[in-house]
Amino acid sequence: MNGKSISRLILLMVLVIPMLSIFSQASSQQVYYIWTNSPQYDILPYSVFIQPLPQNYTLSIAILLNFTNYETLETLTYQIANHEAPYLSPQQFRENFYPSSSYVNELIQYLESYGLVCTGDYGLILTFNGTVGEIEKAFNTYINLYLYPRHNVYWFGLLGIADIGPFYYYSNNVTPSLPYTIGKYVLGIVGIDSFDPKVYPVIKQGWKVELGNPKDQSLISSVLVTPTIIANYFNFTKLYEEGYLGNGESIAIEGVPECYINASDVYAFWKEFAIVPRTAGLTVIQFGTYIVGQSGENELDAEWSGVFAPGAQVYVVFSDGYVGGPALVGNLLNYYYELYYMVNYINPYVISISVSIPESYLAAYYPAMLYMIHNIMMQAIDQGISVLAASGDWGFESDYPPPNFHIGIYNTIWYPESDPFVTAVGGIFVNVSSTGEVINISGWDYSTGGFSVVFPEPEYQLTSLIPNTPIAFVRIYPDIAFVSAGGYNIPEYGFGLPLIFQGQLYVWYGTSGAAPMTAAMVSLTGYRLGALNYILYHISYSGLILTPHGYVQGLPAWIPITSGANPLPATYGWNFVTGSGTYNAYAMVYDLRLYYQSTMG
C-alpha cells in the first residue's frame, strides 16, 4: 500500500459510516437534518462568499428518497448476497422497502405549503420548482453565491479535476432540515447548489469509447481482433456447441444520459461479426427528448454483449433530460433513473455499466447520489441481478492515463464499480499475429484499479480463495478482467477491436468492452446469480468452490495474469490490473452453474 493510499485509509475512518446511522434518527427528535447537504459537501474549500442568492430567483430542485426499514433490508441483503435467502421480485421489494404513497403525499403537501410546485414523481425522486426564498423557508437554510478562485478542484487533499476553474456557483451554507415525520426518508436535495452541473461535462468525457483515428496509422492494428478470435481463445465456442446461448436471458445496458444509439449499427455488427447466428433482439428504451449526441459507448456495449450472448435480449436504457427536464440535467438524476427503471421494470439477469462517476467526487461533494445508487445496487442483487461495470481506462487510481485519452480526473477509482455489490471488470491486452492468432495475453497497462474511500472491506475479500488477495481494510478492485485492447504490432493504447458506429467500421480500446463481454458470459449460465463477487472470490484457481453448504469441485476457470502494469505490476494471484485474473468462459460458466445448483438449485 503506497503513501497516498495510507493517507486515504486514514480519511476513510471518517468517511465510512454505516448507512443506517447516516439517515436514521430517533423518532423522538423533532427535526430531521439532511446531512448529505451539509456545507462540508456543498461548499468547496477556498470558496469566497459573494452575496446571498436573490430571494425571487427560481430554482428547480429534486428530493431524493431513501428506503424504509433499512436495518431489516441490510440484514436481508447480506443473506441474499451470500445466497442464503431467496430473491425478491421488484414488487416485493417496493412493497417492503419503498416509502408509502401516504408519506410521499405528505411530503409533497408540506413543501407545497411553502409555495413550491411539484413538477414530477419519478419513483424515488420528486421534482419541484420554487423561489430561493420559498426553498430557504421550507428547508431552514440559506443559499448564497460563491466564487471558487482556483483552477483545480481537490478531494481529500489530492488533485481531483484539473483546469476547471475559476467559476461562480451557488450553495446552501446551513444544513437543511425538515420536521422529523416529513423528512425521515429524505436522503438528499439536488439543485440547491450548482457545483454538480459544473463538473458534469468533465465527468462525461469518460463516458465515451476511445475510437481509433485513421490518420494515426501507427496506432491502428492491421489485423482486427474479432469476436470470433476472442471466443475461440477464451473457449466461448464450446459453450455455444453445447447449447449455452443465453436463450431467454436479458442483459440491460446503462445508457449515456442525453444520448441515443442507432439500432442499425448494432444489427449490422451482429450480422458482420456473429460467432454463431444471433436469435434475440435489441430493445432501446428512451425517456425524454433532451438529446445531445450519439453514444458510441453504448453501441459498443450492445454490439459486443449481443454477439457473445446470441440468445439474450439486449436492452439499452436512456433517460434524456427526463427527470425534471433540462433545468436539472447535469445532476446525475437521469443516470440514476436509468438504473432505477432497469431494476424495477426490466428486472434483467445482468446489468452492464460502462458509464461511471469518480467515486472520490461523489464521496467529497455529492454523497446523496452515491447512496441513491448504492441503494439501487442493493435492490438489484436482492432481485438476483448481477451488476458488472468497467473499471476504467486510466491506470492505477486514474493517475496513469493513455497518452491519447486524458480526461483531467485523478486520484480516484470509479463508481458504481467500487460498490461491494458490483463486479468491477478490468482489462487485458490480446497480442495477435499477422494472421490473427493469439500470441499471448497480458494485463492492460491502463486498466484502473485502486482503493475505495467509501466502502469497507467486504466479506468476500476476507474469505477469498484467490491467492494474494490483500487485507486492505477497504473495498479494492478490479474483481475480474477481460479483453480491453488488442491487435498486431501496436502499443497498448492502440486500436484493434472493431465497432460499427454511424454506419462505418471503427476500432477501439477500453474496459468499456470488457464489462459487456463478461456480462454476456454471465448470462450464458441461464441462472440469476445476484451478487457475483460472493461467488467469484470463492472459486479457487484449482476449481475448488466454496459454497454456503461446503466445498464442491468445479473446473479450473481462472487464467492468472502475470505480466502488464498500470503501473503496479500484474503478478500471480490478485492484482490491481486484473483483479483475480481473466477466465476460460466454458469453465467459468460451468463453475457458476455448479455454485448455483449447489446453493439455490
pLDDT of residue 197: 67
Question: Residue 168: its pLDDT value, please?
Answer: 95
Residue 597 has pLDDT above 50, yes or no: yes
- What is the C-alpha separation between 49 and 8, in angstroms, rounded? 29
Please tell me the total number of residues recorded for the chain in this structure.
Answer: 601
Instruction: Indicate the residue among 150, 174, 204 that finishes a domain.
Output: 204
**pLDDT of 77 higher than 90:** yes
Does 117 share its domain with 254?
Answer: no
Domain presence at residue 212: no
Residue 162 lies in a domain: yes
Instruction: State the chain's mean pLDDT as an integer.
Output: 93
Do residues 181 and 229 both lie within one domain? no
Q: Count H helices, E strands: the chain?
A: 20, 32
DSSP 569: B
Give the pLDDT mean for 68-74: 97
For residues 349 and 253, is the Cβ–Cβ distance under 8 A?
no
Q: How far apart are CA 28 and CA 177, in angstroms?
A: 15
327 pLDDT band (50/70/90 cuts)? very high
- Domain assignment of residue 209, yes or no: no
Handedness of CA 450, 454, 457, 460 (dihedral sign): negative
Is the pLDDT reported for residue 214 higher than 90? no
Whether 14 shows a pLDDT value over 70: the answer reads no
- 38: nearest Cα among 130, 138, 176: 176
Please report whether residue 215 resides in a domain: no
Residues 228 and 200 in one domain: no
pLDDT-wise least confident of 206-215, 333-342, 414-423, 563-572: 206-215
pLDDT for res 11: 45
Burial degree of 91 (CB within 10 A; 0-12, 13-18, 19+): exposed
Backbone angles phi, psi at 360, to 5 degrees: -65, -35
Q: Are residues 197 and 229 in the same domain?
A: no
Q: Give the domain range for residue 369.
A: 224-599
How far is CA 349 from each of CA 142, 198, 245, 372, rounded to the nearest angstrom? 45, 35, 14, 21
What lies within 8 Å, CB to CB, of 594 at 6+ separation is 545, 552, 554
What's the pLDDT at 21? 40
Minimum mean pLDDT range among 12-16, 78-82, 364-368: 12-16
DSSP state of 99: P
Q: Is the pLDDT of residue 574 over 60?
A: yes
Question: Which amino acid would we find at residue 327?
Answer: A
Q: How far apart are CA 323 and CA 372, in angstroms?
A: 15
Number of domains in the chain: 2
Cα–Cα distance between 263 and 267 in angstroms, integer? 6
Strand 423-432 to 386-390 pairing: parallel
Picking from 311, 200, 299, the residue whose alpha carbon sits closest to that of residue 259 is 299
Cβ neighbors of 379 (< 8 A, separation 6 or more) are: 93, 97, 343, 344
Q: Are residues 388 and 418 in the same domain?
A: yes
For position 600, what pLDDT does the model report?
82
Place of cell 461523489: 362
**Radius of gyration of the chain from its Cα atoms, rounded to whole angstroms:** 23
pLDDT-wise least confident of 20-29, 436-445, 474-483: 20-29
Q: What are phi and psi of 179, to 5 degrees?
A: -55, 145
Bridge partners of 210? 509
Q: Are 397 and 145 in contact (CB under 8 A)?
A: no
Check residue 109 and give its pLDDT: 98
Q: Retrieve residue 399's grid coordinates.
A: 493517475
CA 378 to CA 372: how far, in whole Å? Answer: 10
Strand-pairing partners, residue 253, are 316, 352
Same domain, 106 and 55: yes
Please indicate, yes or no, if residue 219 is contained in any of the structural domains: no
26 and 139 in a common domain: yes
Whether 395 is covered by a domain: the verdict is: yes
Residue closest to 206 by CA, chosen among 347, 91, 361, 2: 361
Angle at 518 between CA 223 and CA 321, to 5 degrees: 100
pLDDT reading at 22 higher than 80 = no
Query: Tell me, what CATH number does 514's domain have?
Result: 3.40.50.200
Tell me what pLDDT residue 280 has.
Answer: 98
pLDDT tens column, 226-255: 999 999 999 999 999 999 999 999 999 999
Which of 174, 204, 234 represents a domain boundary (last residue)?
Answer: 204
Which is more confidently placed, 334 or 10?
334
Q: Are residues 69 and 106 in the same domain?
A: yes
In a domain, 216, yes or no: no
Confidence label for 201 from pLDDT (cuts 50, 70 and 90): confident
Of all residues in the chain, the percent with pLDDT exceeding 90 is 90
Do residues 228 and 186 share a domain?
no
Task: Please tell me whether residues 169 and 231 are part of one structural domain.
Answer: no
Residue 218: predicted pLDDT: 86
Residue 563: φ, ψ to 5° = -140, 160
Q: What is the pLDDT of residue 205?
A: 67
DSSP 8-class letter at 344: I
Whether 28 shows a pLDDT value over 80: the answer reads no
Residue 12 has pLDDT above 60, yes or no: no
| 112 occurs within a structural domain | yes
Summarize pLDDT for 366-413 with one digit per residue, the tens: 999 999 999 999 999 999 999 999 999 999 999 999 999 889 999 999
Residues 104-134: pLDDT tens digits?
A: 999 999 999 999 999 999 999 999 999 999 9
Q: Is the pLDDT of residue 539 over 80?
A: yes
> Cα dihedral sign for 224, 227, 228, 234?
positive
Domain stop point among 204, 236, 264: 204
Helix (H, G, I), strand (E, B) or coil at 425: strand
Q: State the helix-helix crossing angle for 263-272 and 296-308, rounded to 10 degrees.
A: 40
Contacts of residue 414, Cβ cutoff 8 Å, sequence gap at least 6: 206, 356, 357, 358, 359, 389, 390, 391, 392, 398, 448
Q: CA angle 208-209-215, nearest 5°?
A: 115
- Residue 93: name the closest of 382, 420, 419, 385 by CA: 382
Rounded Cα–Cα distance for residues 393 and 566 (Å): 10
pLDDT tier at 203, thresholds 50, 70, 90: confident
Label residue 426 by pLDDT band (50, 70, 90). very high
Does residue 197 sit in the same domain as residue 242?
Answer: no
Residue whose cell numbers read 500471480: 572
Q: Which residues pair with 118 in a beta bridge?
A: 128
**How far is C-alpha 464 from the chain's CA centre?**
23
**Mean pLDDT value across residues 266-280:** 98
- Per-residue pLDDT, 462: 97
Residues 568-574 have a mean pLDDT of 98
pLDDT digits (tens, 9 = 90+) for 162-188: 999 999 999 999 999 999 999 999 999
Residues 508, 541 share a domain: yes
